[in-house]
Every structure is written in structure tokens, then in C-alpha cells.
Structure 1
Amino acid sequence: MSLQDPSPLELSRRRLRASRSRRSTLTALASTLVFAVVLYLVITNAPGWPRTQQTFFNPQVAWDSLPKVLEGLWLNIRVLAVAAVCTLALALVVAVLRTLRGPVWLPLRLLATGFVDLFRGIPLIVLLYLIGFGVPALRFTDSRIDPVILGTVALVLTYAAYVSEVFRAGIDSVHPSQRLGARSLGLSYGQSMKLVVLPQAVRRVTPPLLNDFVAMQKDVGLISLLGPLDAVRAAQISSQSAFNFTPYVVAALLFVLLSVPTARLADWASARAARREQSGAAL
């Protein structure tokens, strides 16, 4: 046996860990299966299940409404892409403004703080109504403003207020010695922030940023309140035409399928960050 080969004791420990892992996996699968069977039996044996199945889980209605709901979901995806990029940019600017030092920057700090307090305090559904119906009433232009644009603006303002606090927490988590070291090398405040502080801050706050993105994926459906034909609005129209709630279930499942990959990515990023911290690696 060479020096690189594991000892018999280490091999036995590995076998024990593998055995425990297999046993834990089997136990988890068995308990999940039992729970699913019990839940299925409880629901299907309820007195109102036949009526509920016909009203919410009608296969024919689901198939007929699927194309329209999918077409509306494509609008939600486009709004989500634009809103996510704009939110990150605006939130980063607000976070940097809140971290400026010196009395000369007090007006900008107050402006950024007021932005966060205002749009973090207003419920998104209320802000959608205020922007969706209030801005057109001002008549900035003679043409009608697209409600999709107004809904996207409301999403960006709300989530930028939350995401800016995430960015600010990441900036504050960077040790002051990093800034001092950058300044001692001759970098300006902007250069040290861009080259030293922000890269570390963004890596540290990636998991919560992904969680906010998952939340935005769900809330993007609220733009239907302003009238755009998105997935929720398409489900509503199909539901009213068929006198059945199955299209809402179809829309809900599509939103779940849209958010699950991002949720798993957020879990992976959180676990990766935790492993780095435990191993003492630099973030």
C-alpha cells in the first residue's frame, strides 16, 4: 500500500458514510411517497372533489387554453427580462449613492434614502394603479402610453428599492481595509469602488439577488391589472369563456416551471457561498 492510498480505517469510514447516505435517501423517498399518497387520498375522497376536479382540473379546458396562456407568458418573460436588467442598474446606483461619504453628498444620500423608503413602503399592487392610471392622466404625450411600459416601470421602482438594500449590505460587508488599500495604491474613490469593492460585494449578495429575481418572476403577472394580455389576463379571459377555473391552474403551473430553475440556481449559489465561507476561501 502506497502512502497515497487511504488506510483501512478511512475506507471503513467512507463505507459507513455512503451507507448512511443511501439509508437517508431511501428514508426520504419513502416518507415523501407516503405523504403524497395520503394527501392524494384525502383530497380525492373529499365530498366536493368531483366538482372541484371538473372546475379546476378539466383536461380539455386546460388543453384549449394552453396556447393563449403560453402566448401571454411570452409577454411576461419579455417584461421580466427588461425589468430585471433595469432593476439591477437602478438598484446599484441607489446603493452607491447611499454609501457616499462626506457632507457634500448629503443631498444625494437623502434622495436615495427617500427613494428606498418610498417605493419599499408602497405595495406593488397600489403602485401599479398609481403609475398605470396616474401617469397617463398627466398627458405627457398625445399618444397612449403602453400599459406594459407602465407596469414594467412600477416593477422596476419597487424591486430597485429592495435590491438596492441588498447591494448596500454587500458593499458594507467589504472590509474598510480593502478601500484603504485601493486608495493607497492611487485609485480614486470611483476606481476603488468599481475595481475592488463592487466585485466582492456582488459575489457576496448573489444568492439574495437570485431570490429577489424569483419573487419578480411571480409579481410580473400583476401587470395584468393594467390590461396587457399576459398569461394571467389570458387565463382570465379563457376562464370566463369556459366558465371554468382550469386556465388559472395552467397559468400557475407555467409560472412554477418558470421559477423552479432560478430557485434551484439560488439554492446552489447559497450552498456554494456557504462552502466557501466554511473553507476560508475568499469570496
Structure 2
Amino acid sequence: MTDWQPSALQLERIAYRQRRARRSTLIAVVSSVVLLVLVAIGIGSTPGWPRVRATFFDPQRAWEALPVVAEGLWLNIRVMLICAVLIVVIGMALAILRTLRGPIFFPLRVFAAAYTDVFRGLPLLLVIFLLGFGVPALRLQGVPNAAVIWGGAALVLTYSSYVAEVFRAGIESVHPSQRAAARSLGLSYRQTLRFVVLPQAVRRVMPPLLNDFVSLQKDSGLIAVLGVIDAIRAAQLETAIDFNFTPYVVAGLLFVALTIPLTRLTDYVARRQGWYGGGGGPV
């Protein structure tokens, strides 16, 4: 029995698709290069460009500031990872509270709704100021006064309110027939929630959930307003030495390098979930 071989028509179709793919790639590369060249020429021809280049894009100053800024970025990474775990736990708990049924759970639903309304309405920077400066001023016994702790607490309180709504949307997107089928099989409410509802809900909201963590990754730099030596604060201290703003550019590039992998992961998960249709999609 001979192996299957594509027909001449199929081979022609494959060759045509390959030619179109190469042509599209070539056009994309050429157009990108032309655009970058035009932007570089336009910026380079401005009167203030030499001064801006020396102040913001000094390679030697960037190399000198890189170790200090990278050390501060490591603090941002640790804050983000710890906060992410707490945000998922608290956000999931709030989402479950808001979806509890029955009049006996009314106070819990009100509490969860009030929590999400308050912390989604308050600016994150304001929450950081209130916790970072307000709680240590109370001088409570046994309560830590470290700025990084209260800055992280502000991130957790604010982002958990957003994540709770993401989880709630996922829970409510599960059709009621799924719950009814699970209960008819003898599963309790807790077992139905754990084995039937939550696995489907989490899988459906994974792309927007990852998108929130991309924002968390960037907003972790806001704890610098409390005096914490993170990447942004380290760049500020380096800039104060000679008033050269290149360390800020270094900090920005490090944050971008940290964010891009998670962004690409979000796009990949979104494609797997079918979030992007044929009309467009991520880069």
C-alpha cells in the first residue's frame, strides 16, 4: 500500500500560500523599516534633539545606572509575585461571596459589592498614600510600619476588587444547567462550585485575568511614592546625581522587557480560548 501523496492542485495551493506568506512578510518588514527611518529622521532633525539625546539616551550613563535600577526592579518583581497570589485568593473569595444565593447570604453579598465598589472607585495612588502614610501614623502595637508592606497592601486591596469582578463574570457565564446537572448527580453546592463551575469560569476569564496582572506588573512601581527603593525610585536617585534622565529610560526599558513576555502569553491564551476572530488579533 503506497503512501498518500498530495495532488498537483494541492501542491499548487500550498505553493501559492507560501508565496503569499513570503510576500506579506516582506511587505511588513519593508513598511516597518521605512516607518522607523522616517521617525528617526523626523526626530533627529529637530533643533533640540542633540540636547535630548545627551540627557535621555546617554549609553555610558545607562550602563552605570543599570545595576542599581535592576536591583530595584527585583523588589518590584517580588512585590508583584506576592501580591498576585493574594489578589487571586481575595478576588476569588469576593466573587464567590457575590454569587451566593439565598437571603441568609445577603450581608455577605452587600459586603463584597461594597468592597468592589469602593476600591474600584478609589485611585490606586490615593490608596497607597492612605495606607502607606496613614497606618504607620496610628502607631499600632505589633503592626509593621514598612512602606513596602503597605504599598503592597494597597495594590492587593485595589486589584482584588477588579479581579473579583473578572471571576464573577466567569462564574455567571457558566450556564445554570451545569449546576442543575451537578446537583442532580448528587454533588453538594460546594462540590458543584469546586468541580464544575470554577474550572470553567477560570478557564474562560484567563485572558482578562492575565491582562490585569500585566497592569499589576507596571503599577508595582507606584510604591516608589512611599520612598521604597524600587526601580523607579532607584532611577530617581541616580538622576539626582547629575540631572541626567537616562536612568528613567533604563527603568522603562526594564519594565517593558518584564511586561512583554506576559503580554505575549496573554495573547497566546486568548487565541487558544478563541477570543480573537478572523477580523484581527494580536501582533
Q: Tell me the TM-score normalised to structure 2 length.
A: 0.94
Q: Is the alpha carbon distance of 1:144 and 1:92 closer, same or farther for their aligned partners in structure 2, counting shifts above 3 Å?
A: closer
One-letter code of the match for 2:12? S
One-letter code of the match for 1:165? E
Task: Give me the whole-angstrom Cα distance separating, in 1, the residues matched to 2:24 and 2:2.
Answer: 33
Counterpart contact for 2:128–2:223, Cα < 8 Å: yes
- Per-residue CA deviation, residues 154-178 of structure 1 (Å, 9 max, x unaligned), is 0011110111111111111111111
Residue 49 of structure 1: aligned partner: 49
Counterpart contact for 1:210–1:266, Cα < 8 Å: yes
Task: Give me the whole-angstrom Cα distance separating, in 2, the residues matched to 1:275 and 1:131.
Answer: 38
Q: Is the alpha carbon distance of 1:117 and 1:275 closer, same or farther for their aligned partners in structure 2, counting shifts above 3 Å?
A: closer
The alignment partner of 1:249 has SS state of helix
One-letter code of the match for 1:99? T
Task: Give me the whole-angstrom Cα distance separating, in 1, the residues matched to 2:208 and 2:21.
Answer: 29
Task: Give me the whole-angstrom Cα distance separating, in 2, the residues matched to 1:246 and 1:275.
Answer: 39
One-letter code of the match for 1:19? R
Residue 118 of structure 1: aligned partner: 118
One-letter code of the match for 1:176? P
The alignment partner of 1:100 has SS state of coil
Task: Give me the whole-angstrom Cα distance separating, in 1, the residues matched to 2:276 and 2:41.
Answer: 44
Q: Is the alpha carbon distance of 1:198 and 1:75 closer, same or farther for their aligned partners in structure 2, counting shifts above 3 Å?
A: same
Within 5 Å, give how 1:220-259 maps onto structure 2. Answer: 220-259=220-259
Q: Tell me the TM-score normalised to structure 1 length.
A: 0.94
Is the counterpart of residue 171 in structure 1 residue 175 in structure 2?
no
Task: Give me the whole-angstrom Cα distance separating, in 2, the residues matched to 1:236 and 1:148.
Answer: 17
Residue 58 of structure 2: aligned partner: 58
Indicate the larger mover: 135-144 or 171-180: 135-144
One-letter code of the match for 1:161? S
Q: CA deviation at 1:2?
A: 6.3
Q: CA deviation at 1:274?
A: 0.9
Within 5 Å, give how 1:60-209 maps onto structure 2. Answer: 60-141=60-141, 145-209=145-209
One-letter code of the match for 2:54? Q
Task: Give me the whole-angstrom Cα distance separating, in 2, the residues matched to 1:50 and 1:202.
Answer: 51
Task: Give me the whole-angstrom Cα distance separating, in 1, the residues matched to 2:58 and 2:9.
Answer: 59
One-letter code of the match for 1:148? V
- Per-residue CA deviation, residues 96-144 of structure 1 (Å, 9 max, x unaligned), is 1111111111100000000000000101011100111111122222675
Q: CA deviation at 1:248?
A: 0.4
Q: CA deviation at 1:4?
A: 4.2
Amino-acid identity (%): 56
Q: Is the alpha carbon distance of 1:105 and 1:4 closer, same or farther for their aligned partners in structure 2, counting shifts above 3 Å?
A: farther
Counterpart contact for 1:207–1:267, Cα < 8 Å: yes
The alignment partner of 2:145 has SS state of coil
Task: Give me the whole-angstrom Cα distance separating, in 2, the residues matched to 1:31 and 1:247.
Answer: 32
The alignment partner of 1:205 has SS state of helix
5+ unaligned residues in a row in structure 2: which ranges?
279-283
RMSD: 1.8
Counterpart contact for 1:61–1:242, Cα < 8 Å: no
Task: Give me the whole-angstrom Cα distance separating, in 2, the residues matched to 1:99 and 1:59.
Answer: 54
What number of residue pairs does the alignment pair up? 278
Residue 17 of structure 1: aligned partner: 17
Q: Is the alpha carbon distance of 1:2 and 1:14 closer, same or farther for their aligned partners in structure 2, counting shifts above 3 Å?
A: farther
Q: Is the alpha carbon distance of 1:181 and 1:135 closer, same or farther for their aligned partners in structure 2, counting shifts above 3 Å?
A: same
Q: Is the alpha carbon distance of 1:41 and 1:48 closer, same or farther for their aligned partners in structure 2, counting shifts above 3 Å?
A: same
Task: Give me the whole-angstrom Cα distance separating, in 2, the residues matched to 1:212 and 1:263.
Answer: 10
Counterpart contact for 2:270–2:276, Cα < 8 Å: no
Task: Give me the whole-angstrom Cα distance separating, in 1, the residues matched to 2:169 and 2:242.
Answer: 49
The alignment partner of 2:47 has SS state of coil
Within 5 Å, give how 1:261-276 maps onto structure 2. Answer: 261-274=261-274
Q: Is the alpha carbon distance of 1:45 and 1:140 closer, same or farther for their aligned partners in structure 2, counting shifts above 3 Å?
A: same
Counterpart contact for 1:183–1:192, Cα < 8 Å: yes
Q: Is the alpha carbon distance of 1:67 and 1:183 closer, same or farther for their aligned partners in structure 2, counting shifts above 3 Å?
A: same
One-letter code of the match for 1:126? L
Task: Give me the whole-angstrom Cα distance separating, in 2, the residues matched to 1:231 and 1:168.
Answer: 34
Residue 281 of structure 1: aligned partner: none
One-letter code of the match for 1:216? L
